[in-house]
């Protein structure tokens, strides 16, 4: 249990991301409730709720030190990294600020690096 603090930080970041996705899903549904775009908005909100549920399952698995949670967390972070790179590219093309995308790239990269370390993996596959 040498890496308890690092895994806890990753679980907290996953919880914050999950809370954000739930909030965005609720706000999307409330914004488009009486609109012709409600069907599309509900699809987007359902995707946000699914991502939040998946992140909560990962938090549980990381807390219990399950091997599947380690593997899926790294995979989840790889997709997040690719999405953040794409988001930064699009924001640069459109002239929008991309600071949050850069922070997300850094956090996903650090998370992947940390969870890929041998000493961390050994805690999950004992």
Q: What is the pLDDT of residues 79-126, one digit of tens each?
A: 999 999 999 999 999 999 999 999 999 999 999 999 999 989 988 887
Q: Are 62 and 54 in contact (CB under 8 A)?
A: no
pLDDT at 1 over 80: no
**Taking the CA atoms of the chain, what radius of gyration do you get in angstroms?**
17
Considering its fold, how many domains does the chain have in total? 1
pLDDT given for residue 79 in this prediction: 93
The answer to whether the CB of 11 falls within 8 A of the CB of 63 is yes
CA distances from 39 to 24, 27, 35, 52 (A): 16, 14, 9, 20
Token couple for 72: 């899926």
Q: Which two tokens stand for residue 43?
A: 């699809």
Q: Is the sign of the CA dihedral 83, 85, 90, 91 positive or negative?
A: positive
User: Does pTM surpass 0.75?
Assistant: yes
Do residues 106 and 8 make contact, with C-beta atoms less than 8 angstroms apart?
Answer: no
Domain that holds residue 38: 4-124
Q: What is the pLDDT of residues 12-68, one digit of tens each?
A: 999 999 999 999 999 989 888 888 888 888 998 999 999 999 999 999 999 999 999
């Amino acid at each position: 249990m040498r890496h308890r603090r690092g895994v806890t930080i990753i679980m907290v970041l996953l919880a914050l991301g999950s809370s954000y996705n739930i909030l965005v899903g609720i706000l999307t549904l409330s914004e488009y409730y009486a609109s012709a775009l409600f069907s599309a908005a509900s699809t987007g909100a359902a995707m946000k709720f699914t991502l939040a549920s998946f992140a909560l399952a990962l938090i549980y698995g990381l807390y219990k030190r399950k091997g599947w949670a380690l593997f899926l967390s790294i995979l989840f972070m790889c997709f997040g990294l690719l999405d953040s790179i794409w988001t930064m590219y699009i924001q640069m093309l459109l002239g929008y600020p991309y600071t949050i995308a850069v922070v997300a790239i850094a956090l996903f990269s650090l998370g992947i690096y940390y969870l890929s370390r041998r000493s961390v993996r050994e805690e999950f596959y004992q």
